[in-house]
Amino acid sequence: RLLPSLDVVAVSQAPSPESNPYSPLPVETMVGLYPTIES
């Protein structure tokens, strides 16, 4: 939770090449779950 930028970047680049058109969809889902899991 201290460095959410790094998590977002890593998650964004990970699914980016695998699913370009679905990039924004999984990214938002991950970002929404990330803080919940870390909390």
Residues 1-39 have pLDDT tens digits of 565 565 655 555 544 455 555 555 555 555 555 555 554
Place of tokens 């930028």: 5
Query: How many CA within 13 A on the CB side of residue 37?
Result: 8
Per the structure, how many domains does the chain have? 1
Domain that holds residue 32: 4-38
Tell me the C-alpha distance between 39 and 25, whole Å. Answer: 22
Report H helices in the chain: 4-13, 15-18, 24-38
* Predicted pLDDT at 7: 61
C-alpha 32 chain-centroid distance: 8
Q: What's the chain's length in residues?
A: 39
* Predicted pLDDT at 39: 47
